[in-house]
């Protein structure tokens, strides 16, 4: 009996040894880490913790997305702004004053609020007889000084629609109300002032020849002033060439 037990124990030891050798043959031992040639290895810095007060950047998204070409014009336009300018556009030709008078340009003032690049609320002023640039005799102190409204004035308040057509051509239309005054003397030499109020209509176009020259044409009607005081008071069609130096 003891011989059988000893033989069983011996067989068990032989079996365990064989299993251990088989397991040892299957284990792959990793080679030791390579030693750096220069100095000890430095650990990579830990990523900075995200601040709860700053938004996290999303992967794959741009901070300033761009619109494709068909939708580029739909971007928000700048806010409205006010403007004030003199649209008399003198020809700027050099004209020195003489002993008899000086050259004066009648003002044509425009003021308004541009709500969009195409729409504006506008008001305007021009002398009743807009002579552009003319020679004022020193004998007429008011004219030589460039006084406004000596013979009267045309004023208007209107809605203006401006439409650019291409890079050089633009057209506009205006509709509103006009108030005009006419200062003159009657047959007895007395100073008289006549007034008129009525609809205002304006339309025109401008073509830019180059950066310094343009051609423009426009039509204006101030109430019933053309029938009351004649056609020389800014009613009708006018064209001009603007040249700057």
Q: Which of 14-28, 57-71, 109-123, 207-221 has the highest mean pLDDT?
A: 109-123
Share of the chain above pLDDT 70, in %: 62
Mean pLDDT over 123-147 rounds to 80
Q: List the chain domain ranges.
A: 76-89+100-243
How does residue 194 score in pLDDT terms, banded at 50, 70 and 90?
very high
pLDDT at position 44: 52
pLDDT at position 102: 78
CA distance 36 to 15: 45
Q: Which residue has the higher pLDDT, 119 or 3?
A: 119
pLDDT at position 90: 59
> Which of the four CATH numbers 1.10.3720.10, 3.40.50.1220, 2.40.160.20, 3.30.470.20 does domain 76-89+100-243 have?
2.40.160.20
pLDDT at position 73: 45
């Amino acid at each position: 009996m003891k011989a059988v037990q000893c033989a069983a124990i011996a067989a068990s030891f032989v079996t365990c040894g064989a299993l251990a050798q088989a397991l040892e043959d299957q284990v792959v031992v990793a080679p030791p880490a390579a030693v750096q040639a220069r100095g000890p290895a430095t650990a990579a810095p830990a990523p900075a913790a995200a601040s709860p007060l700053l938004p996290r950047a999303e992967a794959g998204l741009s901070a300033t997305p761009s619109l494709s070409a068909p939708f580029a014009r739909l971007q928000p336009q700048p806010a409205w702004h006010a403007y004030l300018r003199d649209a008399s556009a003198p020809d700027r030709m050099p004209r020195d004053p003489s002993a008899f008078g000086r050259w004066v340009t009648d003002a044509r003032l425009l003021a308004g609020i541009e709500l969009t690049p195409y729409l504006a609320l506008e008001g305007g002023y021009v002398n009743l007889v807009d002579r552009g640039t003319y020679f004022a005799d020193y004998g007429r102190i008011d004219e030589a000084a460039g006084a406004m409204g000596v013979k009267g004035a045309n004023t208007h308040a209107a809605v203006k629609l401006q439409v650019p057509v291409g890079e050089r051509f633009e057209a506009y239309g205006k509709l509103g109300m006009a108030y005009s005054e006419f200062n003159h003397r009657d047959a007895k030499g007395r100073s008289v002032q006549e007034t008129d109020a009525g609809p205002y209509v304006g339309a025109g176009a401008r073509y830019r020849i180059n950066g310094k020259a343009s051609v423009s044409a426009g039509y204006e009607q101030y109430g019933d002033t053309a029938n009351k005081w004649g056609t020389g008071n800014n009613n009708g069609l006018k064209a001009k060439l603007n040249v700057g130096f």
